[in-house]
Amino acid sequence: MRLQDPGPGKWQLFRIWASIGLQSFGGGASTTFLIQREFIEKHRWLSIEEFMHLWNLCILTPGINLVALTVLIGRKLGGTWGIVVSLAGMLLPSAIITCLLAAIFKQIEHVAAVQAVLRGVIPATGGIMLLVGLNYALPLIRRGYKEGVLYLLTSSVIIIACALVVILFKLSVIVVVLCAAFLGALFFSPGPGSPLLEEEQREQQ
Amino acid sequence: MINPFIYFLLFLKASLFSTGGFSNLPSLHQDMIANVWAKDSDFGQSVAIGQISPGPNGLWVISLGYLTYGFPGAFLALIAITIPPLLVLVVSAGYTRIEHRAWVQGAMHGVSLAVVGLLLTVVWTILRQPGVDWKGLLIAAGAFGLALSRKVNILIILGLAGLVGYLLYR
């Protein structure tokens, strides 16, 4: 990977995560988008492939995946202190505001203007989430073009199937991820002739 | 009265057996109602507050903590949702040992595909909420376009959407 920027200082890391946390409205949609923009596009401390790799680990971890991602990126950019300042930046300012809002919310909950504003904000988070999905899909599709039509087709079918079983059958997310991992191992493992597989066969012999 | 230690353990358990920000809700609901530490309406309100406040969407648990147990509740909730994601360090240590096997690479590609599919379900869920009509879908399309251009701050996009919502639905 090309590092085009020197690593961040602790204070800078804290500030970046605090600004990501504070700009994240409507859940994970904008957060993932902001993380990609700050760490991949603006500072180039991570590549998109590396980001996907870290994100995969977060999917396998219990709890809020974005917090796990904060831990991993924090560790990569600043070791143990990186984890501490990243978590503090991501969680503390937002948690304090959430807590204060909880105190205020009860009193303005039924005001019509508040309801109207929310009816605009909620679909907008949907649109932003769609872009995040597209950002994830692009490297996979690019790889699909290289590997051939069958690979691309199988990939698309798995994406759509995962979405449909959750929407139609309310299948547990963990079950869906495990099934996709199994299908992936079945269809996408590097074939014979790949250096990785030969190496493994040598190990077995 | 609320026992802070058990209260904390309930939040921790719910987060340990969940993935993502909202799947700890059913477990918390059962336990908190059973202990009469929360009302049904606390949950709806907490999720709504989570939507309009900054931070990852799992922070709705902090407003649940506040509504049921004040500032100590919010603090305990924050600690409880911070601990499970730290297990990613264990996951990552185990993963580097097996990542060069062919089947692991295939499996992770499968997981990446699932992630895209799951993001589509989140888009679906958001756009299917009761308040979202065809005007809402246009707002969603507009927000998508503005974000795609990468020239507009996300907060400005959400602010514009809120303004449009105010003008359309007030």
Cα separations in angstroms, A10 against A40, A93, B5, B8: 18, 16, 33, 30
pLDDT score for A195: 43
pLDDT score for A83: 96
In terms of pLDDT, which residue wins out, B21 or A115?
A115
Pairwise CB contact (< 8 Å): B19 & A62:
yes
A4 in any annotated domain: yes
CA distance B77 to chain A (A): 10
Cα separations in angstroms, A64 against A20, A194, B23, B77, B107: 16, 36, 9, 13, 22
pLDDT digits (tens), chain A, 205 positions = 445 556 788 999 999 999 999 988 655 567 888 999 999 999 889 999 899 889 888 987 888 989 999 999 999 999 999 999 999 999 999 999 999 998 887 777 678 888 788 788 778 877 877 887 888 788 888 888 888 888 888 899 999 998 898 788 867 677 788 898 899 989 888 765 454 444 444 444 3
pLDDT score for A205: 39
CA distance B34 to chain A (A): 23
- Domain holding A4, by residue range, is 1-108
Residues 6+ apart with CB under 8 A from A91: A21, A67, A70, B55, B59, B78, B82
Q: Is the dihedral of CA B145, B150, B152, B153 positive or negative?
A: positive
Dig out the tokens for B25 from the structure: 């809700």
Helices B88-98 and A48-59, axial angle in degrees (round to 10): 110
**By the 8 A CB rule, do B59 and B75 touch?**
no
**A115 touching chain B per CB within 8 A:** yes
Q: Which amino acid is at B49?
A: I
Segment 1-20 of chain A within 8 Å of chain B by CB: none
What is the number of structural domains in chain A? 1
What b/e sequence results for A20-53 when a residue is b if at least 16 CB atoms lie within 10 Å of its CB, and e otherwise?
bbbbbbbbbbbbbbbbbbbbbeebebbeeeebbb
Alpha-carbon torsion angle B143, A86, B23, B119, nearest 10? 30
Cα separations in angstroms, A9 against A5, A15, A72, A82, B64: 12, 10, 16, 9, 34
Residues 6+ apart with CB under 8 A from B74: A95, A98, A99, A102, B62, B63, B65, B66
pLDDT score for B43: 73
**A152 touching chain B per CB within 8 A:** no
Q: Which of A130, A132, A196 to mutate to test the interface with B (most CBs of B within 10 A)?
A: A130
Q: Domain-by-domain residue ranges, chain B?
A: 4-85, 129-170
**B112 touching chain A per CB within 8 A:** yes
3-state secondary structure of A36: helix
Query: What is chain A's alpha carbon radius of gyration, rounded to the nearest angstrom?
Result: 20
pLDDT score for B44: 65
Q: Residues of B with CB below 8 A from A196's CB?
A: 100-102, 105
Among A67, A128, A85, residue whose Cα is nearest residue B62: A67
Number of other CB atoms surrounding residue A112 within 10 Å:
10
Among B51, B54, B52, B49, residue whose Cα is nearest residue B65: B49
pLDDT score for A167: 80
Dig out the tokens for B124 from the structure: 């679906």
**B4 touching chain A per CB within 8 A:** no
Q: Residues of A with CB below 8 A from B74's CB?
A: 95, 98-99, 102
In terms of pLDDT, which residue wins out, B13 or A60?
B13
User: Which of A38-42, A90-94, B23-27, B155-159 comes out lowest in average pLDDT?
Assistant: B23-27
Q: Residues of A with CB below 8 A from B56's CB?
A: 21, 24, 27-28, 31, 64, 66-67, 90, 94
pLDDT score for A126: 79
Can you tell me the mean pLDDT for B36-43?
A: 81
pTM above 0.90, yes or no: no
**B147 touching chain A per CB within 8 A:** yes
Residue A58 has its nearest CB partner, among B88, B123, B127, at B88
pLDDT score for A146: 83
Q: Which of A76, A129, A152 to mutate to test the interface with B (most CBs of B within 10 A)?
A: A129
Ordered alpha helix ranges (H), B38-133: 40-52, 60-82, 88-98, 102-127
Tell me phi and psi for residue B19, to 5 degrees.
-140, 140
**B169 touching chain A per CB within 8 A:** yes
